[in-house]
Structure 1
Amino acid sequence: MFVLIRNEFQKILTSRGGITLTQQLARSTVSYDSSEYQYLQISKVPTLHFQASLPRLPIPKLEDTCRRYLNAQKPLLNDKELQYTASCISKFLANEGQSLQKQLIHNNDENPHTSYISELWFDMYLRDRKPLPINYNPYIIFTSESDPRYDAQLVKATNLVVSSLRFFKSLRNGVLEPEVFHMKPEKSDTELFRNITRLIPSRFSWYGAYLFKAFPLDMSQYKNIFNTTRIPKLEKDVIFHDPSAKHLVVLRKGHFYAFDVLDEDSICNPRKIAACLKAILEDDRPPNKHPVGVLTTLERDQWAQARLHLIETGNQEILKKIDSAIFILALDDEIIDTDNNKVLRTYLHADGTNRWFDKSFSLIVSKDTYSGINFEHSWGDGVAMLRYIQDVKADISKKPRFHPNEVTELAKENVNIEKLQFSLDAKSENIIKQQKAKYHEWINQICLDYIIYENFGKNQYKKFGVSPDAMMQLAFQLAFYTLENRVVSTYESCSTAAYKHGRTEAIRPCTLETKEICIAMSRTQTELSKSDLKRMIFNCSKAHNVLTKEAVMGQGFDRHLFALKKISENLNSTKSVIFQDPAYDALNYNILSTSTLSSPVIFAGGFGPVVSDGYGISYQIRDKQLATVVTSYKNSHNATKYIQALEYAFKSIHDVLRT
């Protein structure tokens, strides 16, 4: 069904003159030294203009956090368990919770430049020893171009590289449009807004934006989109950033190549970049027998040891070249064709031989029309990557800088490509060989499936007066309940980018209201009428809206309790009673892990299950469609059966809403 969506998308754009436009562009000329080529945007308002005045992430009141935490436990625990958890919370509130809260507030006051969660969250990611692919790295696949000629691998890769560099240079030089959430875009997404706010000193600029009902978002993560790599170290990894590098690293058939894409501070012309990529695509070497990239699929301590050995055997400069590269471009040779499952797997994990999962992001261009990214998660969140994706995709679609008719002229271009050849001894070769087999065994345990539900979408949900996101989350609960006759801990990611150095907060969508409606709708016979069920669905939506608003405003409980727990551990004190309660660990064992990045330029996206017996659920709420990709491990759950149950859940909910 994904293929049908792609084809329809192409027909619509082509019918609106897409081919005519690109043919005209192919005949246009441009000065490659001009700002029009060098910058994707030249904003009147400096990129980080609002950063200094962003409000700080609030620390919730301890009483509010404990109340919200108990409410999240209510649908998951029996009466005896709930009574015990409530007593633990009461003891925590009366005793050590107060001192931990005071310490957290003190730490926060001592670090006004950041948020209370930022350092702790970085530390959590970097200390985790699990391999990055599947466990952490998400993927996003772009929609195809209106003119199929622009989806050819060389043309697509060149345009993606050029537009990425235009985004990169606009960001680095502070002329990328600031990220702002416009509540009333007709008033704030205007020249008047920009002319006024740019004149307000940075330390007050947020307040000026607020008067327009516009909310600037934190952009502190953006610098790490480029020139950044997570480097494995024993016990805790580090984030490496080298803003001076001017080169790109390209992966093909497990081989590494590097070439400069900046000449001094200027982006090289598209033909020069295309010529380098063409030479790489025409390199007739067989696939690398010892692809070092597969080592980035190792458990982190194992990879740290293997990397140290690579350095000891003379590969330090090659690794530095990879680590400092602006980003990695992976050119895949395998034909995907119309195998949708294969498309999703290619961008989620592939076979590891043509990937470097440690890089902040890898731009992946397949042999046949597909393109997208796989990104490392410790340095930042989906909000930053979504901005990059949307801007770059719009740029290559509206004004591509390299055209199909220029391919034949590339022989005139001089290329200067460095082949990065690792020096491997028997020990490294053996580690690579073993990990290739181990990774192959691992990815074969992944079950992946998807659904595009055509009968309902955001427009109809809003027409019925319910939250589209609440209905998706209800469907996820109902599908699981249909299969297992129980509700489980569920995580929905929510951005707190409205605050300085905000990361994410958790929405806990498994509420008493969702449990009640799941039980009612799963019965073969029910005494409840459809009007009663509809009322329950509305109650579910209202409860979800409250949780969402609290999370967005930094008033969730997950990050607050996490911070208090870390302070307790750092003080080497006895583990607090609330954290000794098995219910706390159970709540944070997320059987259903869900996240959404909805955009017209995203074809599909997803991630792996976060626990061995869980589901990874990514979804898009489109105007007239609902799209979901589900992953699981075969030995515990079956993603295909879950998708079937999810379709039933969609139909059941919509049947009630139509009454």
Structure 2
Amino acid sequence: MWRVVSAKHQSCYCMVFASQLQIPTLSKCCSGVRLYSATSDEREYLHRSIVPTYHFQKSLPRLPIPKLEKTCERYLKAQLPLLSSAEYANTETIVKGFLQGDGTVLHEELVAKDKNNKHTSYISDLWFDMYLKDRSPVVITHNPFMVFNNDPKPEYNNQLLRATNMVVSSARFMKTLNKEILEPEVFHLNPAKSDNEKFRKFVRFLPQAISWYGAYWYKAFPLDMSQYKRLFNSTRIPRKSKDELYTDETARHLVVLRKGNFYIFDVLDSNGNIYPAEDIMSHIKYILEDSAPIPEYPVGVMTTENRDVWADVRTNLVNSGNEHLLKLIDGAMFALALDDKHLTDPNDISRSFLHSDGINRWFDKCFQLLMSDDGVACVNFEHSWGDGVAVLRYFREVFKDSTEKPQVHPTTKPSDANSSQRVQRLEFKLDGATKEAIKQAKTKFDKKTASLDLQHLEYQTFTRKKCKQQKLSPDSVLQLAIQLAYFRQTGKTVGTYESCSTAAFKHGRTETVRPCTVATKRMCDLIFNSKTPPTVEELQQGLKNCSEMHQQLTREAAMGKGFDRHLFALRHLAEDSGKALDLFEDPAYKKLNHIILSTSTLSDPSVLIGGFGAVVPDGYGIGYAVEDGRLGFNITNYPPATDINDFLKCCEHSLDDIYDIFNGRVPSKRS
């Protein structure tokens, strides 16, 4: 349920401080870059920032721990639209007892612990542990995917061409990052004032210990970039009870998957320079033309398994003489997976890039660059090391660089790079136990993916522009549509999750926005439960109330003033001391955190489609887009507990209802 940080959530960073500055409107986030004039630099790097990449890290503000009273207040507000009067009264009593007793003791312990760990945030280690100790498979539920828009030049949407260009652009990004000349992530509240050369020259000469304050003086807000260090050359290694994050900063090679086989070749030479693009093209062509069949026992399937099961099998692989092969995969820059399928249908695209058949994948890798036979490209990334801020930056930069400055073209010929010698196919030694484990893993994975349903909706009756014209938050409109859809389908309100990045703080991770509010519940009642038809004025005011409340919740979350992470940390402290507290045993707490509607917005000009799996058997995984030209939902579920086709129709009807209200009409109660 912890999703990729979206463009919308990046725009929320400004809210961290905008409320303190009392600035009601927000400008877009800009990462200005300057291309260096030297030819060698232009070949090796995306750009050369005059401000070092991690210049602001030391002086980033620390993630605040909310006041316990405010956390309890926000928690109760989130419960209000979900509980009956009797249930709410009981939960309110439990919360009061928590606030007056154990909660205060735990809060003081958390504050003291935070003061002794000023190098990080109070949530960081707990959040890493949450992922790394989870024994469930990473695929579907945890690993999200984002699909690139096609290259604007159709002739470049060729698997060999696009893979080569994206590998070169990825290497350029990696080198720019490693040399620490990648432009720092900075939110410019007033780009005209700060997104310029004068600002950069000013902050570059400030000591790192005070650099953030200099940016703040310009009303520019640097963001945490600590997660970037795991973006390349990293993988999640299965271990018993708790997995390990591994990074090999010295590795210069790429791992390529083709028909379940693994190949490696160096992308950088011994001096750290990128090999000629024609050489890389030659190596990829060699792999595409290799006649090796799909292995009878494809090792990549093991990354779809339970983590303890996979840990045992990996140990056996190491003991069977495969340790050096695993290290080559673990330390590779990233994984490039080349598929055979043509992909045109959105549902086929989603299935292929969310899970596929598990054979031509290594889901433990920091990220996988996946590419269909017809050049549709995607990033699927492992989630424990980060929340998507770094991935989305990589995604945008590589899309821009590979489409605007392609290194190979339709007329480019692969070089005579002796690929048969420079490309190595990895040959695993498998004993009987490992073969049986792979066979069982494939059977389980096939059963799991067969149980998953997935559907996509494109909606164009109104778009982001219409929401803005109504002076409403586009994100709040889509979240309201989701609430209306579920209420239309079931007559219920349920626990809903929307992630919001707290990257404005040192080692910030995410906070939860709870989109099911008293305002959205009121709209559901007005449309579906009113004994007399509501007036247009009531409904339009209801839309405004939903938008204002959602924006407030998003602002609080981005400022580190939500309640979920605070309670999460307190619950772990209680568990560590062996305490079973009424608050965390309350059925209402468990119900709130049984995420029926897990949502994330994936709106960005470079993103075609994105998504993730439902996080509970009776829920929906809802990726949605809010753009100037379209609205869209990409939804997953596990039937028969839920009906995705009916839910999708309800989403469309809800958007129609909202459109009616925009245009001064009372919605009809569509079935």
Tell whether 2:190 aligns with 1:166: no
Whether the aligned pair in 2 keeps the contact of 1:386 and 1:597 (CA below 8 Å) is no
Identity, in percent, stands at: 49
Partners of 1:515 and 1:587 in 2: CA distance: 15
Give 3-state SS (helix, strand or coil) of 1:34's partner. Answer: helix
1:259 is displaced (CA, Å) by: 0.9
1:407 is displaced (CA, Å) by: 2.7
Look up the match of 2:283. Answer: 276
1:523 is displaced (CA, Å) by: 4.2
Which ranges in structure 1 are unaligned for 5 or more consecutive residues?
1-29
- CA deviations 1:207-227 (Å, max 9, x no partner) are 111122211100000010101
Which ranges in structure 2 are unaligned for 5 or more consecutive residues?
1-35, 665-671
Look up the match of 1:405. Answer: 411
Within the candidate set 295, 303, 306, 2:310 is matched to 303
Change (3 A) 1:414 1:306: closer
Tell whether 2:231 aligns with 1:222: no
1:526 is displaced (CA, Å) by: 3.5
Look up the match of 1:318. Answer: 325
Please identify, of 200-209 and 162-171, the stretch whose mean Cα deviation from structure 2 is larger: 200-209
What letter corresponds to residue 192 of structure 1 in structure 2?
A: K
Partners of 1:598 and 1:199 in 2: CA distance: 36
Please identify, of 374-383 and 427-436, the stretch whose mean Cα deviation from structure 2 is larger: 427-436
Look up the match of 2:70. Answer: 64
Within the candidate set 476, 480, 500, 1:470 is matched to 476
Look up the match of 1:512. Answer: 518
Tell whether 2:253 aligns with 1:247: yes
1:68 is displaced (CA, Å) by: 0.2
Within the candidate set 264, 289, 296, 1:258 is matched to 264
Give 3-state SS (helix, strand or coil) of 2:660's partner. Answer: helix
Give 3-state SS (helix, strand or coil) of 1:107's partner. Answer: helix
Give 3-state SS (helix, strand or coil) of 1:451's partner. Answer: strand
Whether the aligned pair in 2 keeps the contact of 1:520 and 1:526 (CA below 8 Å) is no
What letter corresponds to residue 259 of structure 1 in structure 2?
A: F
1:258 is displaced (CA, Å) by: 0.7
Look up the match of 2:642. Answer: 637
Aligned residue runs from structure 1 range 96-175, under 5 A: 96-175=102-181
Aligned residue runs from structure 1 range 367-446, under 5 A: 367-407=373-413, 409-410=415-416, 416-446=422-452
Partners of 1:89 and 1:410 in 2: CA distance: 71
Tell whether 2:345 aligns with 1:339: yes
Tell whether 2:497 aligns with 1:497: no
Partners of 2:446 and 2:287 in 1: CA distance: 26
Q: State the aligned residue count.
A: 628
Change (3 A) 1:350 1:601: same
Partners of 1:393 and 1:501 in 2: CA distance: 27
Tell whether 2:482 aligns with 1:488: no
User: What TM-score results when the alignment is normalised by the length of structure 1?
Assistant: 0.93
Give 3-state SS (helix, strand or coil) of 1:404's partner. Answer: coil
Change (3 A) 1:413 1:354: closer
Give 3-state SS (helix, strand or coil) of 2:422's partner. Answer: coil
Aligned residue runs from structure 1 range 601-640, under 5 A: 601-640=606-645
Look up the match of 2:655. Answer: 650
Whether the aligned pair in 1 keeps the contact of 2:65 and 2:560 (CA below 8 Å) is yes
What letter corresponds to residue 425 of structure 2 in structure 1?
A: K
Partners of 1:628 and 1:181 in 2: CA distance: 28
1:333 is displaced (CA, Å) by: 1.3
Whether the aligned pair in 1 keeps the contact of 2:286 and 2:419 (CA below 8 Å) is no
Change (3 A) 1:162 1:511: same
Give 3-state SS (helix, strand or coil) of 1:620's partner. Answer: strand
Partners of 2:198 and 2:662 in 1: CA distance: 42
Give 3-state SS (helix, strand or coil) of 2:342's partner. Answer: coil
What letter corresponds to residue 650 of structure 2 in structure 1?
A: A
Within the candidate set 274, 278, 281, 1:267 is matched to 274
Partners of 2:215 and 2:443 in 1: CA distance: 54
Whether the aligned pair in 2 keeps the contact of 1:457 and 1:624 (CA below 8 Å) is yes
Look up the match of 1:237. Answer: 243
Within the candidate set 529, 533, 540, 2:535 is matched to 529
1:31 is displaced (CA, Å) by: 12
1:552 is displaced (CA, Å) by: 0.5
Partners of 2:122 and 2:575 in 1: CA distance: 16
Whether the aligned pair in 2 keeps the contact of 1:382 and 1:597 (CA below 8 Å) is no
Change (3 A) 1:49 1:527: same
Give 3-state SS (helix, strand or coil) of 1:406's partner. Answer: coil
Please identify, of 202-211 and 485-494, the stretch whose mean Cα deviation from structure 2 is larger: 202-211
Partners of 1:600 and 1:621 in 2: CA distance: 10
Partners of 1:635 and 1:349 in 2: CA distance: 20
